[in-house]
């Protein structure tokens, strides 16, 4: 499982990262986290609002901090 966080590295981005890792751990998934902070790379990915979360290169959350429970719905 590849977890990608798109954003500037602000507190919301960090919280989204924490929530995504928690969700993956609770489901017993092995995962790697990639953080994309480059504005051009974020735009190239089609993201208009950060923070954003992609799971295996599919954007599932954009412009908000999803809870671990919400992220688990996308993982399960």
Domain ranges of the chain: 2-68
Catalytic position from the list 3, 5, 6, 13: 13
59 CB-side CA count, 13 A: 18
pLDDT mean over 49-67: 97
pLDDT mean over 28-54: 97
Task: State the alpha helices, DSSP H only, in the chain.
Answer: 11-26, 39-44, 68-75
pLDDT of 70 > 90? The answer is yes
Average predicted confidence (pLDDT) for the chain: 97
Q: Which residues contact 37 (CB under 8 A, 6 or more apart)?
A: 7, 8, 9
Output DSSP code: residue 76.
-
Band of the pLDDT at 76, cuts 50, 70, 90? confident
- State the pTM of this model: 0.94
Q: Which CATH number fits domain 2-68: 3.40.30.10, 3.90.1150.10, 3.40.190.10, 1.10.3720.10?
A: 3.40.30.10
Catalytic position from the list 1, 2, 8, 10: 10
51 is catalytic: no
pLDDT of 46 > 90? The answer is yes
13 is catalytic: yes
């Amino acid at each position: 499982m590849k977890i990608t966080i798109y954003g500037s590295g602000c507190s919301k981005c960090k919280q989204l990262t924490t929530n995504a890792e928690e969700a993956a751990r609770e489901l017993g998934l092995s995962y790697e986290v990639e953080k994309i902070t480059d504005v051009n790379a974020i735009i190239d990915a089609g993201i208009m609002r950060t923070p954003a979360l992609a799971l295996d290169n599919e954007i599932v959350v954009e412009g908000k901090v999803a809870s671990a429970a919400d992220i688990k719905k996308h993982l399960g």
